[in-house]
């Protein structure tokens, strides 16, 4: 099935180290050879073309919801369809947005721009200038990766500003201080970067001067994750915040004063969910913290302090409890309009939103009257106005946008995605599995209501970085998998954020095995309930989830009939050597430290491939342009599996699109169809 592997620059310690060279001829020749095999086998399947067309049709359907954010009377949206492969950045009035067929004005047509400049630009966002928001600092990636070029753009004239602010592609970020000054979080030269490759120095860049002349105002440490900066408006007050992100879960925040002083805000390092609202600094904590006034702040709670008082006196004063912690309730995020603060919550992995007011020195709070028993999110909140919108979905309910122009008081469903598959015969259920240490792990199952015996089943997991997996409608999954009588399972394992910081910390660093055990427990429970057999159970995960499925392959291959490993981390003893891997040491540990290397080496999939193991079929995918998780992980794992004789290992590498597969939908649809064909073939599913 697979071509023999050549080793042009083999190392005695790691024979496939040469595959870490992202763009060398040797590496790319190997990639092209692997792609030829995977494409031939999966795209050559008689059912591939119909699956591809279905995926592409759904990804580019003109009746997909145009999700947008309101600012200064307009709703802005980024849109892709069959005609606009790279997409349109566009806007319409709020009144028009609420109609069935809004009248959109195109701001930038990225397909036209790509044709003009010969670069497939991928839109990465825009920072708009207060108070009229017509000028913006536009970010565009040349290959879909995280590194983006910045150019100043005028929304009213639909044109780049001649002689305006412009910076080459990098992982820097930009925001406005005023119309003639840009705050630059710089990552251009090596001296500007942290060891992880992210911005280390904050600079002020004046109009008419060279970027190299920008004045540094703040620096993080070289071994920090990153430095960041931005302007926050609270009513008519403007604050410049600076941050030294020590790692993903710890940071120091500073207020940049007019005097030039950077005054540290003495919150705990692991403060989270911060927001400035009506002179109150709202915050949460990841571990218990006793405030200067003696208040004990607990994880999964929200607290506030008088920020204006702190600016004036340097003292926090009294800490108020805005939201007390509750069992299996965690905070998903905060957003604010001009007069309201919104709190998005997860209650046993089901969403709800609270709206808060601040008046006469006290907080008041009530729930927003949104649908229950699904995933509710805040789509946008207009910082300088009163519009706010919410999304609602679950596994069987198409997504909808619920809009309010009066801070959540009056709600109107303004957008509903049409049904993409027949859900009338399906049921969504929530179960729990007992993990190895006795912890109960919730998971969701979507399947036919009348299922009689085991069916091909796809189990999906992530389990990292405090990121929750929530119920959501997926038309492609419905059409290519569920409608054919197959089942889908989503596991809420430890390491994720489904139940707040403690759920994440239970699988952090040396506790990582807990998350892997959780996933195995869910797989076993699915089989025990008769939903699937081991041979009909496939697993899928991407990025940190790719590590999860890689470990599942090497630790418990007998539990699965197919394994999909997407844009993964797999060599955990070298991950810090592959940029920006050093940024994740707070999650996984530091392999240069013997204690950390001990637990990393205990599970690192790349080092645990065995020739005599009975592995199920494996599909590994990655992207040459992925500058977040290096493609070397997937390449080396595929090579090692194949060398060990596991000839049911397929590898496919996309040549553009970055970590999240941004850009043209056609390659995304092709890869999606290939994965479902792979599962059908491996698990005996109906095509």
Q: Cα separations (Å) of 616 from 480, 561, 602, 606?
A: 22, 5, 21, 16
Helix (H), strand (E) counts: the chain? 13, 39
Q: Coil, strand or helix: which one is 534?
A: helix
Give CA separation, 247 vs 462, 480, 582, 587, in Å. Answer: 20, 39, 10, 9
Q: At what angle do helices 665-683 and 48-59 cross, to 10 degrees?
A: 140
Angle between the 632-643 and 544-555 helix axes, to the nearest 10 degrees? Answer: 20
Tell me which of 543, 552, 583, 604 is the catalytic residue.
Answer: 543
Please name the residues in contact with 17: beta carbons below 8 A apart, sequence gap of 6 or more.
9, 10, 11, 636
Residue 604 DSSP code: -
Going from the C-alpha of 335 to that of each of 77, 244, 275, 281, 309, the distances in angstroms are 19, 22, 8, 13, 23
619-to-4, 33, 322 alpha-carbon distances in Å: 17, 15, 47
Residue 611, class by beta-carbon neighbours within 10 Å (0-12 exposed, 13-18 middle, 19+ buried)? exposed
Ramachandran angles phi, psi of 266, nearest 5°: -80, 50
116 exposure class (CB count in 10 Å sphere: 0-12, 13-18, 19+): exposed
DSSP character string of 178-213 = ETTEEEEEE-SSGGGB-TTSSB-EEEEEETTS-GGG
CA-only gyration radius of the chain, Å: 25
Sheet with 618-623, side-by-side order of all strands: 426-434, 440-448, 487-491, 457-460, 537-542, 562-566, 618-623, 649-654
Query: Which residues does 210 contact at the CB level (< 8 Å), separation at least 6?
Result: none
- Cβ 673 vs Cβ 680: under 8 Å: no
Q: Please, what's the largest Cα pairwise distance for the chain?
A: 74
Query: 630, 633, 646, 659: which is the annotated catalytic residue?
Result: 659
Query: 261: Cβ–Cβ under 8 A, 6 or more apart, which residues?
Result: none
Is 633 annotated as catalytic? no
Coil, helix or strand at residue 34:
helix
Catalytic positions? 543, 659
């Amino acid at each position: 099935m697979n071509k023999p592997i050549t080793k042009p620059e083999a190392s005695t310690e790691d024979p496939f180290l040469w595959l870490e060279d992202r763009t060398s001829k040797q590496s790319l020749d190997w990639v092209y050879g692997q792609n030829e095999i995977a494409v031939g086998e999966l795209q050559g399947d008689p059912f591939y073309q119909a699956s591809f067309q279905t995926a592409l049709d759904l990804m580019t359907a003109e009746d997909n919801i145009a999700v947008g954010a309101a600012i200064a009377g307009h709703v802005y949206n980024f849109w892709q369809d069959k005609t606009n492969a790279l997409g349109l950045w566009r806007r319409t009035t709020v009144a028009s947005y609420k109609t069935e067929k809004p009248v959109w004005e195109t701001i930038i047509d990225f397909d036209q721009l790509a044709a003009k400049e010969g670069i497939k630009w991928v839109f990465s966002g825009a920072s708009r200038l207060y108070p009229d928001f017509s000028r913006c600092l536009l970010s565009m990636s040349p290959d879909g990766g995280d590194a983006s070029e910045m150019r100043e753009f005028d929304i009213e004239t639909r044109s780049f500003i001649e002689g305006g602010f412009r910076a080459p592609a990098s992982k820097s970020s930009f925001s406005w201080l005023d119309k003639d000054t840009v705050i630059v979080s710089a990552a251009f030269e090596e001296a500007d970067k942290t060891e992880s490759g992210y911005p280390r120095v904050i600079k002020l860049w004046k109009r008419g001067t060279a970027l190299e002349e920008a004045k540094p105002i703040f620096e993080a440490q070289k071994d920090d994750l990153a430095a960041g900066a931005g302007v926050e408006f609270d009513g008519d007050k403007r604050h410049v915040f600076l941050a030294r992100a020590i790692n993903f879960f710890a940071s120091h925040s500073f207020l940049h004063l007019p005097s030039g002083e950077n005054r540290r805000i003495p919150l705990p390092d692991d403060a989270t969910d911060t927001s400035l609202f009506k002179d109150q600094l709202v915050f949460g904590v990841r571990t218990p913290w006793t405030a200067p006034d003696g208040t004990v702040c607990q994880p999964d709670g929200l607290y506030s302090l008088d920020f204006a008082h702190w600016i004036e006196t340097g003292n926090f004063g009294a800490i108020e409890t805005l939201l007390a912690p509750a069992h299996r309730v965690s905070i998903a995020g905060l957003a604010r309009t001009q007069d309201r603060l919104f709190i998005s919550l997860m209650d046993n992995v089901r969403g709800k939103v609270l709206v808060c007011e601040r008046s006469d020195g006290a907080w008041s709070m009530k729930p927003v009257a949104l649908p229950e028993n699904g995933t509710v999110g805040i789509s946008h909140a207009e910082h300088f106005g009163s519009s706010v919108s919410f999304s609602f979905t679950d596994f069987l309910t198409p997504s909808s946008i619920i809009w309010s122009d009066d801070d959540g008081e009056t709600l109107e469903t303004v957008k509903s995605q049409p049904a993409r598959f027949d859900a009338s015969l399906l049921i969504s259920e929530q179960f729990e599995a007992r993990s190895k240490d006795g912890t109960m792990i919730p998971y969701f199952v979507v399947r036919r209501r009348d299922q009689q015996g085991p069916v091909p089943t796809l189990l999906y997991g992530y389990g990292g970085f405090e990121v929750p997996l929530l119920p959501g409608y997926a038309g492609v999954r419905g059409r290519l998998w569920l409608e054919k009588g197959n089942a889908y399972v989503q596991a809420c394992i430890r390491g994720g954020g489904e139940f707040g910081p403690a759920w994440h910390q239970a699988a952090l660093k040396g506790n990582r095995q807990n998350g892997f055990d959780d996933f195995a427990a869910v797989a076993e429970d699915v089989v025990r309930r008769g939903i699937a057999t081991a041979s009909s159970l496939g697993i899928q995960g991407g990025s940190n989830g790719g590590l999860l499925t890689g470990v599942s392959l090497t630790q418990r291959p007998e539990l699965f009939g197919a394994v999909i490993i997407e844009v993964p981390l797999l060599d955990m003893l070298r991950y810090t050597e592959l940029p920006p891997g050093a940024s994740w040491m707070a999650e996984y540990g530091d392999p240069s430290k013997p204690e950390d290397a001990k637990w990393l080496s205990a599970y690192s999939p790349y080092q645990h491939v065995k020739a005599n193991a009975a592995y199920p079929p494996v599909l590994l995918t990655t992207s040459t342009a992925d500058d977040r998780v290096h493609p070397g992980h997937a390449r080396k794992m595929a090579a090692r599996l194949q060398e060990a004789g596991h000839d049911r290992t397929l590898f496919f590498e996309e040549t553009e699109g970055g970590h999240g597969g941004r850009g043209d939908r056609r390659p995304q649809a092709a890869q999606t169809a290939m994965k479902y064909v792979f599962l059908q073939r491996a698990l005996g599913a109906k095509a």
